[in-house]
Amino acid sequence: MGQTLSIITFFGYLGASVFYVGALYDGRREQWGRWGALLGWSAQTIFLAHNAWVVRGFPVVTLYDWMSFFVWLMISLFLASQIRRSYAHIGSFLVPIVFLLWLISQFLAHHNTAAGTPLIGGWLGLHIALATASYAAFLLAAVFGIMYMEKERELKNKKVRLFYYRLPPLEDMDEMGARLIMIGVPLLTVALYLGAQWAKLVWGHYWSWTAKETWSFVIWVVYLGYLALRWFFGWRGHRTAIYAMVAFLLVIINFWGINLLFPGAGSF
């Protein structure tokens, strides 16, 4: 069953990516993109629910599991946003990125970097869920940054073309990116706290500055820096768009670099 669901997920997300990119040129393709995303999401939902039933708990044990959950959460948030058809064309940027992440996760299907630590306690499931939600907010902020830069590029070149007409106003995209980071930082703060509580429960200490813990702390500091620069130094627009995109690179490094190169406590 797992292989069948994976195939359905693949074609659903692939179709959604193609149709959403095509919707930039022909808005009628957007509906087909939405149906493709819904098909892939439905198959992946069944897959995750089956895994949860098998493990009798939160279905995130390996790095592959976490990547799958992250992709599922991103598509869930996107589909929810489309109920009110807010920022419809974010799908043209977001869905292909998420599909690429899902493809990468498939190479990790048999890769388990867990260090053998028992995954116990309610703290851990909530820690993972909140950290994943914060990273989802950060990815969405980065996507709005990409959209901002593309529309700004057309305006600066004085060649008003596709992105000018399809994308929201620059001010709206800048504000939305900031709101997403303002949501993500508290979520990550609580996730780090819960992770420390779980570490105390399992290992007897709250923090040991492992590679995973250190990099998570760096990400938290960097996004706090975004808020500080925006609130106290008046950063807006171009600079914050670049900041959001570069900051998410740290999250990507945490996805694969830290988990794969430094397996151990706190890693998958």
When pLDDT is averaged across residues 53-71 and rounded to a whole number, the result is: 79
Q: What domains can you pick out in the chain, each with its CATH number?
A: 1-112 (1.20.120), 144-268 (no CATH)
Angle at 263 between CA 248 and CA 267, to 5 degrees: 55
Q: Which of the four pLDDT bands, split at 50, 70 and 90, describes residue 117?
A: very low
pTM attached to this predicted model = 0.85
Structure tokens at 192: 């780090």
What is the average pLDDT across 18-33? 87
pLDDT in tens, 35-46: 999 999 999 999
Q: In terms of residues, how long is the chain? A: 268
Q: What is the pLDDT of residues 175-196, one digit of tens each?
A: 999 999 999 999 999 999 988 8
Label residue 168 by pLDDT band (50, 70, 90): confident
pLDDT at res. 136: 93
- pLDDT tens sequence across 94-103: 999 999 988 8
Residue 119, pLDDT > 70, answer no
Residue 10 to residue 104: CA distance in whole angstroms:
12
SS3 letters for the chain? CHHHHHHHHHHHHHHHHHHHHHHCCCCCHHHHHHHHHHHHHHHHHHHHHHHHHHHCCCCCCCHHHHHHHHHHHHHHHHHHHCCCCCCHHHHHHHHHHHHHHHHHHHCCCCCCCCCCCCCCCHHHHHHHHHHHHHHHHHHHHHHHHHHHHHHHHHHHCCCCCHHHHHCCCHHHHHHHHHHHHHHHHHHHHHHHHHHHHHHHHHHCCCCCCCHHHHHHHHHHHHHHHHHHHHHHHCCCCHHHHHHHHHHHHHHHHHHHHHHHHCCCCCCC
Q: How far apart are the first and last CA of the chain?
A: 24
In this structure, what is the dihedral angle of CA atoms 79, 224, 218, 263, given to the nearest 10 degrees? -30
Residue 141 and residue 181: Cα distance in Å, rounded?
Answer: 7
**Residues 217-256: tens digit of each pLDDT:** 999 999 999 999 999 998 999 999 999 999 999 998 887 7
164 pLDDT more than 60? yes
> How far apart (Å, rounded) are the C-alpha atoms in residues 70 and 113?
17
- Quick check: 132 pLDDT over 60? yes
Q: Say if residue 116's pLDDT is above 90.
A: no
CA-based nearest residue to 25, from 84, 90, 75, 92? 92
Angle between helices 91-106 and 122-156 (to 10 degrees): 130
- Identify the pLDDT of residue 115: 43
